Chains A and B, each alone.
Chain A
Amino acid sequence: MADLKVNLAGIESPNPFWLASAPPTNMGSMVERAFDAGWGGAVWKTIGEPIVNVCSRLASVDYGPVRMMGLNNIELISDRPTEVNIEEMRQVKRKYPKHSVIASLMVESKKEAWEEISKRVEDAGVDGIELNFGCPHGMSERGMGSAMGQVPDYTCMVTEWVKGATKLPVIVKLTPNITSINYPARAAVRGGADALSLINTINSVMGVDIDTMIPYPNVNGKAAHGGYCGPAVKPIALNMVSELARDPEVGIPISGIGGIGTWRDAVEFLLLGATNVQVCTAVMHYGYRIVEDMIDGLSNYLDEKGFASVQDIIGLSSNRVTDWGNLDLKYKTVARIDHSKCIQCNLCYVACEDGAHQCIHFTQIGTKKFPFVDEDECVGCNLCNLVCPAPGCITMTRVDDGQQSMTWREYSAK
């Protein structure tokens, strides 16, 4: 059995699976149930000056038969009194000393306010602090959340304030609603952050009810943009995590967030450089119980691959993400269609014909008409392979001899 313990900037957890700051970590009793289910840590629902919420607050995008491919929310930070939240953090930490309890904070942009609340949660015994610089809706209109995270100087300044007030590890949670993730991340590092967590949710309008013509989520006839999360955002999160993991000016641990619902998703984040992961939407969809297979699947994966510790896989794929200019122009693949597996749906044909390079044609074999690839014409784009519903039917086969390589950088330097 591989060791699943991870250590993020001095915060040790029994496994890399944390609950993200969100409704599943709204109160002590919920966090306790989550820990009982197996979660290694929990970032408490962000506390600050209590707020008033609207209803409804959530909307989702379904895709085909799949519900909640993407979720969005316009809920604000905790609506419970700060002292109640802090007291419950104290009790949970006392009861679960080996699990990680992280306080997520968001207060107005005043040094005293940040210092005061940081000291209060440190006194409660939490393992770390996460600064919510990412919430893109509501709070940002009041100069908090992503309004902080979108201005690197503010990110640096508030991080410095908190670091000056507490000895706890400080994680800065970043907003993806920026042009480049590197600048706010570097600012947090300058401010003394011990770790980064990302991504927070993405600005989004979830859709419009085409009968009433009211967008979602409907709050008495009106809607506001909200924060987008769930499986749909995972590729965006993976990109940003890998950008920071490769940035020499960052160099601090990363807690990966965004569309993680299974151990496979988690492994991908770890391979691209995250030290642990945070989960929210999948738990909101299916409950705390999903962590059982996340732990089990990760453990089996590590055993099968021969890794003694989950820490051994962190960043293993990181240096395989590079700039386009470093990719090998001499590497050539073509699509090959295995007619014994072809079901004659012809989706590869129409995709190539209308969406790619017109290199799939038909041939009559017996009574059936099969698609085949004109390999001289095939550019190896992979579209046919992506649309093919029959497993193993189309394979992208390497056709160059592997003897030569040439990147764009090398080519253009000539």
Chain B
Amino acid sequence: MTTEVSKTLIPVEEIERNFREIEPALSDTEARLEAQRCLYCYDAPCTQACPTHIDVPAFIKKIASGNVMGSARVIFNANPIGASCARVCPVEALCVGACVENTLMHQPIMIGRLQRYATDHAMREGAPQLFKPNPHNGKSVGIIGSGPAGLSCAAFLARLGYQITIYEQKEKAGGLDTYGMAEYKMAQIDSLTEVSWIERMGVEIKCNTKVGTDVTLEELETRHEAIFLAVGLGATSRLHIPGEDLPGVYEALDFIDQVKTRQWENVPIATSVAVIGAGNTSVDAVTQAKRLGAEHVIMVYRRSQKEMPAYHYEYELAKSDAVEFQWQTAPVAIIPNADNSGIAALRCVRTQLAPAAGKSKRAEYQPVPGSEFEIPVQMVIKALGQQKRVSFLETIPGINLDPAGRVKVTPESMQTSNPKYFAGGDCVNGGREAVDAAQHGKIAARGIHFVMTGERIQLAGLDDFKFPIPLTGF
């Protein structure tokens, strides 16, 4: 690591200021007045839009009536990670985007912030438990991965009376909620508070425990009647261009991971930073690079702005942070500096729409011959999406993956082709929102319970059990 990328560029106090939450907590008065504004729609669009189908009008009206614990119970009953979802959900694309007040007053209800108000209240120091778990039923489920899917499944099963152990390879639990969210959206401590809230429900989490290394699959299969795979995704995809392994080249998730330590002196940053990719993680990377004091942050994307995968409001956030954009630009090489201790520039080529792109859903772009140019940067962040954990998943006998490397499951139960194994979250859907993973965890919990007991239970925000449900017993 070069010295120029290991010091803070701006005073630490300024960085702290830059990383304050962009959506701070609502005061009691703000929450009450906002909750009173809710129309209390019937069969509400916000509830339909939520992947976990939280009964949004119900929890909001409980805030308005002063029943904040009851409000939190409605939320957690449908989504055990409701506190982190309140902070990191793309609400503009989900519940808030569906709010009828978009039409009436062009002023949708602040559903995410109200959800945070209620869940924070319930998770505060000394608050009573919201749910009384069933007596222990003598059955045990092992969960691999403590991210949103794993935590959600664990919480539901613990409430049903199961003994739950989560195996987490990292030092801290919470998965991407702990390590992967932009710090100005959710501080790491908030994710960890939610993790410990779920631990208080009787869930055991073994951190620093990598399955296959620290504990074998065979041991898990002996200990547990069923295993839920919530392993998420793996390393960032490679660019396959020269200079990719130079000092000063980072994977977006590693960079964000460093930011989340809030040890600003150790967070890599440079005056000019290029971020490759234009998804939501890329936006997290560019906005945080700016907040760390980088003067020039350039987002490099091979397609046009039209095809940008990031949510519109994320793009707006990047624009308001004065991020520069190089559309239709593909990296071809990372150029080292004179002594190979770091980076001097990112060499790129312009792209243009490929002819006959008709069949492909997404427009394909191809390089424009002779259009190569260099962007002078000292740091490159790759935000290219993550690879599937194919090599790990292939060690489990009888697990079928689809051609994209995703675990194949029965959607009603999340059971895999190996009946002892269930799966959910990013390893099944290829990488979506935390709230989608939470829903997977809930469906899996119901599926596991059905396979183990034959009992069909109703969980908040799930359709009635479909009959006959294609489950395999063991």
Interface residues in chain A, defined as those with a beta carbon under 8 Å from any beta carbon in chain B: 64-65, 343-347, 349-350, 389-390
Contacts and interface: CB of A to CB of B under 8 A. Distances in A.
Contacts of A64: 36, 64
Contact of B43 (A65, A346, A389): A346
Contacts of A346: 41-44
A33 B307 CA distance: 67
Interface string B24-64: 00000000010011011111110000000000000000001
Contacts of B101: 343
Contacts of A343: 100-101, 103-104
Specify the main secondary structure of chain A where it touches its partner: loop
Nearest to A393: B104
Contacts of A389: 39, 104
Interface of B: 33, 36-37, 39-45, 64, 100-101, 103-104
B40 A347 contact: yes
Contact of B42 (A65, A350, A390): A350
A359 to B, nearest CB: 16
Contacts of B45: 344
Contacts of B64: 64
A347 B42 CA distance: 6
B36 A345 contact: no
A155 to B, nearest CB: 43
B41 A345 contact: yes
Nearest to B40: A347
Given A345-B42, A346-B41, 20 more contacts: A64-B36, A64-B64, A65-B33, A65-B37, A343-B100, A343-B101, A343-B103, A344-B41, A344-B45, A344-B100, A345-B39, A345-B41, A345-B44, A346-B42, A346-B44, A347-B42, A349-B42, A350-B42, A389-B104, A390-B104
A346 B45 CA distance: 10
A65 B37 CA distance: 8
A276 B10 CA distance: 70
A350 B42 CA distance: 7
A369 to B, nearest CB: 8
Contacts of B37: 65
B4 to A, nearest CB: 53
5 tightest Cβ-Cβ pairs between the two chains A and B: A350-B42, A346-B42, A343-B100, A345-B41, A343-B103
Contact of A347 (B33, B36, B39): B39
Given A350-B42, A389-B39, A345 B100 contact: yes
A65 B36 contact: yes
A347 B57 CA distance: 12
A343 B44 CA distance: 11
Contacts of B33: 65
8 contacts: A65-B37, A345-B39, A346-B41, A346-B42, A346-B43, A346-B44, A347-B41, A347-B42
Contacts of B103: 343, 390
A64 B36 CA distance: 6
A7 B413 CA distance: 80
A67 to B, nearest CB: 11
Nearest to A369: B43
Contacts of B100: 343-345
Contacts of B43: 346, 349
Contacts of B42: 345-347, 349-350
Contacts of A344: 41, 45, 100
B304 to A, nearest CB: 27
A349 B40 CA distance: 13
Nearest to A387: B39
A297 to B, nearest CB: 25
A390 B101 CA distance: 10
A122 to B, nearest CB: 51
Nearest to B104: A343
Nearest to B101: A343
B232 to A, nearest CB: 32
A318 B249 CA distance: 84
